[in-house]
Amino acid sequence: MLLHLSTWPEVETYLQSSRGIILPIGSTEQHGPTGLIGTDAICAEAIAKGVGETTQALVGPTINVGMALHHMAFPGSMSLRPSTLIAVIQDYLTSLTQAGFQRFFFINGHGGNIATLKAAFSETYHHLALLRIPGAEQVQCKVGNWFMCSSVYNLAKELYGLQEGSHATPSEVALTQYVHPEAIKKAPLSEKVASGYPIYGAADFRRHYPDGRMGSNPALATPTHGKQFYELAVKELSNTYLEFLKKGD
């Protein structure tokens, strides 16, 4: 059940049986010469919809632009500053908590969002509690990173080994190929690809990762792989979500 395709009376009804909502969050950032700039948002949104269908959960709108400041030296990348993203999350959860939601499950497509999301959750729990919004003390947030699901991780390792890398990975590219077969890109990829260098500022990132990839060979991706990743992630995160709802009781 997608929030965007629901009416407010339907949401009112939904709240009678569940306090949970799934919020996809991605990023808008370079993904190497062949990866889509929307990769992280596309993956998060597709998987969130799948999890929503599997678990009958409401799925909110996708946060398309996340924390990707280190990718800013590549054209087309967009980012919120962490402090802005914290404000966004706080506003989202304030809105939804006032309506009665209490379990927020962020399905995340981008590693760079994780730290800021965690910071935002802390800030929001505090904010809601200080304001004594009814239900504030019951609010719980959780991040589900699809690319860190053990089933996903294992398949990626099996299919790609070390060529999975850590950004513009074949697994995420495969998933976008499955969701958007009309947008499969080809471009020459140097065999040698930088890896292992930590992430600092944007200019430094581009100096060390000149084509945007981090240790990955996205040429290995196929739409069929993508379907496999999609299904594994949906299954695993559906279980995670259901346990999250239960535990919170």
Residues 166-185 that bind Ni ion (CB under 5 A): 172
Q: Are 170 and 163 in contact (CB under 8 A)?
A: yes
CB of 26 to a copy of itself, least distance (A): 9
Enter the tokens of residue 20. 């949970």
By beta-carbon proximity to a copy of itself, the closer residue of 153 and 199 is: 199
DSSP code, position 56:
T
Q: d(Cα 179, Cα 218) in Å, to the nearest integer?
A: 16
Q: Is 175 in the site for a copy of itself (CB under 8 A)?
A: no
Build a one-symbol-per-residue string for 96-115: x at contacts with Ni ion by CB under 5 A, - elsewhere. --------------------
Phi, psi of 46 (to 5 degrees): -65, -45
Which of these segments, 48-56, 138-146, 154-162, 224-232, binds a copy of itself (CB under 8 A)?
138-146
Task: For the segment 145-164, give every residue that binds a copy of itself (CB under 8 A).
Answer: none
CB closer to Ni ion out of 146 and 244: 146
Residues of this chain, 42-71, that bind a copy of itself according to CB under 8 A = 42, 60-65, 67, 69-70
Residue position matching structure tokens 């809105």 = 95
Query: Taking CB under 5 A as the criterion, which residues in 38-97 touch Ni ion?
Result: 39-40
User: What 8-state DSSP symbol labels residue 165?
Assistant: -
Number of residues that bind a copy of itself (CB under 8 A): 94
CB-wise, 147 or 212, nearer to a copy of itself? 212
**Residue from 53, 62, 136 nearest 93 by CA:** 136
Q: How far apart are CA 52 and CA 241, in angstroms?
A: 10
Residue 45 or 172: which CB sits closer to Ni ion?
172
Give the separation between CA 116 and CA 212, rounded to whole angstroms. Answer: 22
